[in-house]
Structure 1
Amino acid sequence: MSAEPIAFIDLQAQRRRLGARLDEAVLSAINEANFILGRQVAEFERALESFCGAKHAIGCGNGTDAIALCLMALNLRPGDAVLVPSFTFASTAEVVAWLGASPVFVDIEDETYTLDPAGLEQGIAAAKTANLIPRALISVDLFGQPADYDPIEAFCAHHGLTLICDAAQGLGASYQGRLVGSVGTFTTTSFFPSKPLGCYGDGGAILTDDERHAELLRSLHVHGRGTDKYDNVRIGVNSRLDTLQAAVLLEKLAVFPEEIAMRDRVAGRYQDGLADVVSVPRIRQRCTSVWAQFTIRVAASHRAAIVADLKAKGIPTAIYYPKPLHRQTAYRHYPCAGNGLPVSDRVADEVLSLPMHPDLDAKTQDVVIAAVRECVSKA
């Protein structure tokens, strides 16, 4: 067992590495005292555009709001349907219901945990059976890997759906040579502290190449303003990226490529050390992951015992996600594609995420790997 407690996501280690530059950035913002939409917000938006290869970045309050703002820009209404994966966090479907529309749950691929393009036609059929109008599709770049966008984009084009890429976990990854943030009509992301690019509170952003949508979003996220804050030309919301958070994100974005490489090395050590005893993540050819989580699969009948044994050894774990959305009380009455979502149901019983962050050193990781191997062999 390690002499020091092992963190699941060690934000303090990152803090020790980046503390001086973050302190300076935050103090500068405090001294300028322009706390709402200060210069750091616009600077971060420009930096994020450059990093992702997108024409427009709009900062907002959090990743949930980012998706909601996109749906507001589409004028989503009751009677509309949005296809969403069931194996994800609630916010992906939650925002659809906020606006009175209906999420339609679709299944995922067994190996990548992202939307299964082969099941999307069943989602359209389920929407039409429920007398709903399919309007959009929200993909999720789960655990850091982009969804399979070539067939998803073709499907959306064929059915006239707007593609919203939920990259809360995928910012910094790439798909077939395209960076996350340059795919779909909109890409949304979250800067929740535990995300690969995280701030020191809540924060989010939307990326788009569409000039008209960008202008609309910039109005919607500040109360629907027009020429100024007392000229409200539409119903909007209050969802601004905080100046202090933007200051933190500017510094973190500057070292983000280095941290992505560090995450990739951590993932490689896990794959080398565990691939012969558990199912480890598979990354598509010509794609990269930002490794928001390192998620293994174990036998459903053994998972609880393995989690308990690892906890006893001081190894923290997490289960993302123990219950798919279509099984949850708030969402079980919404339509599902096909005859249930068997892959989502199965993986929810098998997944197990291990400690993952860029500062996870090889010695500590060896402790984790040895513990996992021992606990799996005993199960």
Structure 2
Amino acid sequence: MIPVCEPLLDDHALANVAEAVRSGWISSEGRFITEFERRWAEYCGVGHGVAVCNGTAALAVALQALRLEPGSEVILPSLTIISCVLAVLDAGCVPVLVDCEPDTWCLDVAQVAARITPHTRAVMPVHLLGHPADMAPLRELADQHGLAIVEDAAEAHGAEYRGRRVGGLGTLGCFSFYANKIVTTGEGGMVVTDDADLAERMRGLRNLCFRRDRRFLHTELGRNHRMTNMQAAVGVAQIDRIADHLARKRRMADHYTERLGGVAGLALPVERPGVRNVHWMYGVVLDDAVSFDAAEFAQRLHARGVDSRPFFLGMHEQPALRERGLFAGERHPVTERLARRGLYLPSGLTLTESQIDAVCAAVQEALR
């Protein structure tokens, strides 16, 4: 079976972890934490990084840092992971959904404009599968209405929009370093920002809101969202490799596109002018003329030794959210179509060209 994604670690990462263990700093303090935060923030073109235990925690800490009033509205795409909605709810806010663009699969900025109300306080663009959302008009809207922008850049490490890296394009940028990400720490996340006050506040929120002047006196409630020094040690080594990882991802995407570009029944990933898609995962969408859906497509691929993963199911169709009275009666047709007809193919950094050829052959057989 050709897996969807496998992490790529090297001897540098192992050496860093060994150093962290020998130093005795194995928990949430140590030199690798501060180095990882500094270097990732610099990579994203901003001044501050706050490492946390995972990408979900990054979103939660970012929204809580903004001190949004209860009931404030946060606009985000329906086509995303449930972590985004959970972070909004945990902040005491109201998630407001928009549909996505049919080609980039990122949120439709025109719909964002239509859903802004006097209660809107933030917008959360999600850079899906490595392609940046359209940030220029989104920033104009945010400036016009006084909105914070919280980027979910979990799937787009190193992606660029008009010469700037994602994560550094809004008020706060959130990353995941899960095992399948371009930069991984196994589990882990980070929020980056140019706002020193927000960064300091997030450091408290991730650490149970211990006060600097009196550790066990709590005047605000936080969570234990800390990253360990050992995880950060892996992350530092991964930053050293990110240029190679990104080049590998783009070569793999080019190879897929070359092999699948003429195959009837498939829509392939795009790269809009002025952006750099890092192709975290290589997604494909079945044309409406294909008689079966993505679930059956995945079964056909699995029978031919190829693993795959479906696109997200829209947040407006999630039973756990609908049961809480959210998104009643909402329809987001582009999201619904992508959820039913989209999947992504094996895209791990360990994938060989011969394996990509085998995947492409299986795709063509499955479509016959």
- TM class by smaller structure: over 0.9
- Paired residue for 1:41? 33
Q: Aligned AA for 1:330?
A: A
**Does residue 7 of the first structure (1) align with residue 3 of the second (2)?**
yes
What is the distance in 1 between the residues matched to 2:336 and 2:114?
17
- Paired residue for 2:190? 205
Aligned residues with identical type, % of pairs? 33
- For 1:336-361, what per-residue CA distance to the aligned partner results, in whole angstroms no more than 9, with x for missing partners? 8x962111111111101100022221
Q: 2:19 aligns with which of 28, 37, 41?
A: 28
- Paired residue for 2:65? 73
Offset at 1:236?
Answer: 1.7
What is the distance in 2 between the residues matched to 1:273 and 1:206?
37
User: Any residues of structure 2 matched to 1:131-170 within 5 Å, and which?
Assistant: 133-170=119-156
- Paired residue for 1:306? 297
- For 1:127-182, what per-residue CA distance to the aligned partner results, in whole angstroms no more than 9, with x for missing partners? x6xxxx21111110110111100011111112211100001111211101011121
Q: Aligned AA for 2:351?
A: L
**Does residue 186 of the first structure (1) align with residue 186 of the second (2)?**
no
In structure 1, the residue corresponding to 2:273 is in which secondary structure?
coil
- For 1:90-139, what per-residue CA distance to the aligned partner results, in whole angstroms no more than 9, with x for missing partners? 001111112332101111101001010111133225xx6xxxx2111111
Q: 2:276 aligns with which of 288, 307, 311?
A: 288
What is the distance in 1 between the residues matched to 2:365 and 2:77?
34
CA contact (8 A) 1:196 1:290 kept: no
- Paired residue for 1:216? 201
CA contact (8 A) 1:174 1:180 kept: yes
Offset at 1:233?
Answer: 4.5
- Paired residue for 1:279? 267
- Paired residue for 1:356? 347
- Paired residue for 1:109? 101
Q: Aligned AA for 1:345?
A: E
- For 1:274-298, what per-residue CA distance to the aligned partner results, in whole angstroms no more than 9, with x for missing partners? 1222110011112112222110011
Task: Tell me how many residue pairs correspond in the alignment.
Answer: 359
What is the distance in 1 between the residues matched to 2:219 and 2:22?
34
TM-score under structure 2 normalisation?
Answer: 0.93
**Does residue 195 of the first structure (1) align with residue 185 of the second (2)?**
no
- Paired residue for 2:210? 225
What runs of 5+ residues in structure 1 fail to find an aligned partner? none
Q: Aligned AA for 2:114?
A: Q
In structure 1, the residue corresponding to 2:39 is in which secondary structure?
helix
In structure 1, the residue corresponding to 2:350 is in which secondary structure?
coil
In structure 2, the residue corresponding to 1:331 is in which secondary structure?
helix
What is the distance in 1 between the residues matched to 2:100 and 2:326?
17
In structure 1, the residue corresponding to 2:321 is in which secondary structure?
coil
In structure 1, the residue corresponding to 2:191 is in which secondary structure?
strand
CA contact (8 A) 2:3 2:308 kept: no
**Does residue 120 of the first structure (1) align with residue 74 of the second (2)?**
no
What is the distance in 2 between the residues matched to 1:245 and 1:258?
20
What runs of 5+ residues in structure 2 fail to find an aligned partner? none
CA contact (8 A) 2:152 2:175 kept: yes
